[in-house]
Amino acid sequence: MNDQKKVSIIVFSGDLDKLLAAFFIATGAAAAGQQVTMFFTFWGLKLIQQTTVKPRGLNWLKKLFGLMLKPGPDRRALSKMNFLGAGPVLLKQLMRQSKIPSLAELMQTAKSLGVKFVACSTSMEIMGVTRQSLIPEVEQVAGVTTFLVEAQVSSLNLFI
Amino acid sequence: MNDQKKVSIIVFSGDLDKLLAAFFIATGAAAAGQQVTMFFTFWGLKLIQQTTVKPRGLNWLKKLFGLMLKPGPDRRALSKMNFLGAGPVLLKQLMRQSKIPSLAELMQTAKSLGVKFVACSTSMEIMGVTRQSLIPEVEQVAGVTTFLVEAQVSSLNLFI
Amino acid sequence: MNDQKKVSIIVFSGDLDKLLAAFFIATGAAAAGQQVTMFFTFWGLKLIQQTTVKPRGLNWLKKLFGLMLKPGPDRRALSKMNFLGAGPVLLKQLMRQSKIPSLAELMQTAKSLGVKFVACSTSMEIMGVTRQSLIPEVEQVAGVTTFLVEAQVSSLNLFI
Kindly give the confidence (pLDDT) of every residue in chain A, 160 residues in length, as a single tens digit, with 9 standing for 90 and above: 456 899 999 999 999 999 999 999 999 999 999 999 999 999 999 999 998 876 666 677 777 777 777 899 998 999 988 888 888 998 999 999 999 999 999 999 999 999 999 999 999 999 889 999 999 999 999 999 999 999 999 999 999 9
**Could you tell me which chain A residue has the CA closest to the CA of B154?**
A152
Q: List CB contacts (< 8 A) between B46 and chain C.
A: none
What residues have CB less than 8 Å from C107, skipping those under 6 apart?
A: C23, C47, C73, C137
* pLDDT tier for residue C68 given thresholds of 50, 70 and 90: confident
Give whichever of A53-57, B20-24, C1-5 has the largest mean pLDDT: B20-24
Asked if C117 is an interface residue toward chain A (Cβ–Cβ < 8 A), one would say no
What is the per-residue pLDDT for A1? 41
A-chain CB neighbours of B29 within 8 Å are: 148
- Which residue of A155, A159, A160 is the best one to mutate when testing the C interface, meaning the one whose CB has the most C CBs within 10 A? A155
Express each pLDDT in B122-155 by its tens digit.
999 998 899 999 999 999 999 999 999 999 999 9
Q: Which helix (DSSP H) or strand (DSSP E) does residue B116 occupy?
A: strand B116-120
A64 touches chain B (CB under 8 A): yes
A chain contacts of residue C61, beta-carbon cutoff 8 Å = 90, 93-94, 97
A13: closest CA among A78, A61, A70? A78
- With the C-alpha atoms ordered A88, A89, A95, A98, is the resulting torsion angle positive or negative? negative
- Whether residue C14 lies within 8 A of chain A, CB to CB, comes out as yes
Which chain B residues touch C156 with a CB distance below 8 Å? 148, 151-152, 157
Determine which of A7-16, B57-66, C11-20, C40-49 has the lowest per-residue pLDDT on average: B57-66
User: Is C151 in the A-facing interface, judged by CB distances under 8 Å?
Assistant: yes
Count of A-B CB contacts under 8 Å: 64
Rg (CA), chain C: 16
pLDDT tens digit sequence for C85-126: 888 998 999 999 999 999 999 999 999 999 999 999 999 999
pTM of the entire predicted model: 0.94
Q: How many CB pairs under 8 A join A and C?
A: 64
Candidates C29, C98, C158; nearest CB to B126: C98
3-state secondary structure of C36: strand
Q: Centre a 10 Å sphere on the Cβ of residue B84 and count the other Cβ atoms it contains.
A: 7
